Amino acid sequence: YAMGYGRTSTNWGTEETDNIDEALKMGLRQFYFPPVVNGRAHRWSFLAPTTTLAITVAGGYDYDLPDNFGFLTSEFTYAADEGYEKIKSVGESRIRALRQMGTVSARPRFVAVVSKAIDRTVGQRFQALFWPTPDGSYTLTYAFEVLSDALSEANPYPLGGMAHAETIKASCIAAGEEILEEAQGPKWETFMARIAASIEVDKRMGPMILGCNEDNSEDYGKGSNKIQRAITVTLNGTAYD
């Protein structure tokens, strides 16, 4: 309707339908990865889900990540109560350098996330390269930035939910205006006002307390890493150091 085509889809021709589809795709992309507001590009909290990855001896040390994986937003951690330090993210060249020294089987300590060979029939995919080779089965938890699929009958709902619905609509209308006019127009200003409001809403999803501002260069855990400061744990009313 905003593009001047009316609300009756049976009256749309091929060109109108193509323009509408492109406006939807463009509008969603510029909402998910918004323009700079107040000097920074915002990253949505709802685009960073937490998931798990099972690694095993039989699986080796290279593991495919989800098809909608964009990039890591947290480090890989082991299951609760296992007491192992988090897996440190390093560059791919570091993993290669470690592997060239020979086969080592132990609990993975390092990981590099790299892009796989490009297959244009499915799009860009990523994998995690671990070192050492797993000596057992582990369930790792991590968070990542989602690359959302386009809307379709099978995928009818955009990410973000009701709180950002008007911003998504404003983004798609602004995209439609840009497609027709080949330039940003008044609808872009409406979208920018809406995106600023959505960012303020999304900030409420952040942590209320960021934690202690201290040197965490040495993690707590088993193995070679030693505890750097005393921790008191209370169990059934008794304090243990």
pLDDT of residue 83: 83
20 by DSSP, 3-state: which? helix
pLDDT of residue 194: 96
Question: 177-186: which pairs have CB atoms within 8 A and are 24 or more residues apart?
Answer: 177/2, 177/3, 178/26, 179/3, 179/19, 179/22, 179/23, 179/26, 180/3, 180/4, 180/19
What confidence tier does 122 reach under pLDDT thresholds 50, 70, 90?
Answer: confident
Residue 232 has pLDDT above 70, yes or no: no
> Distance (Å, rounded) from C-alpha 221 to C-alpha 217?
13
Question: 115-124: which pairs have CB atoms within 8 A and are 24 or more residues apart?
Answer: 116/64, 122/67, 123/67
In the 3-class helix/strand/coil scheme, how is 140-209 assigned residue by residue? EEEEEEECCCCCCCCCCCCCCCHHHHHHHHHHHHHHHHHHHHCCCCHHHHHHHHHHHHHHHHHHCCCCCC
pLDDT of residue 118: 81
pLDDT of residue 42: 93
> Distance (Å, rounded) from C-alpha 134 to C-alpha 121?
32
Task: Tell me the β-bridge partners of 233.
Answer: 240
pLDDT of residue 235: 62
pLDDT of residue 212: 64
Tokens of 217: 């260069």
Residue 224 has pLDDT above 50, yes or no: no
* Percentage of the residues of the chain whose pLDDT score is greater than 70: 85
Look-up of token digits 């990523």: 126
Query: Region 103-126: what's the mean pLDDT?
Result: 89
Query: Region 214-227: what's the mean pLDDT?
Result: 51
pLDDT of residue 120: 77
Residue 215 has pLDDT above 90, yes or no: no
pLDDT of residue 227: 42
pLDDT of residue 150: 86
Tokens of 99: 């592997």
> Tens digits of per-residue pLDDT, 68-78?
999 999 999 99
> Tens digits of per-residue pLDDT, 186-203?
999 999 999 999 999 999
DSSP calls for 50-63: EEEEEE-STT-SEE
160 or 222, which is more confident:
160
> Tens digits of per-residue pLDDT, 132-186?
999 999 999 999 999 998 888 999 999 999 999 999 999 999 999 999 999 999 9
Q: What's the whole-model pTM score? A: 0.74
pLDDT of residue 172: 97
> Tens digits of per-residue pLDDT, 98-113?
999 888 899 999 999 9
Query: Region 16-43: what's the mean pLDDT?
Result: 94
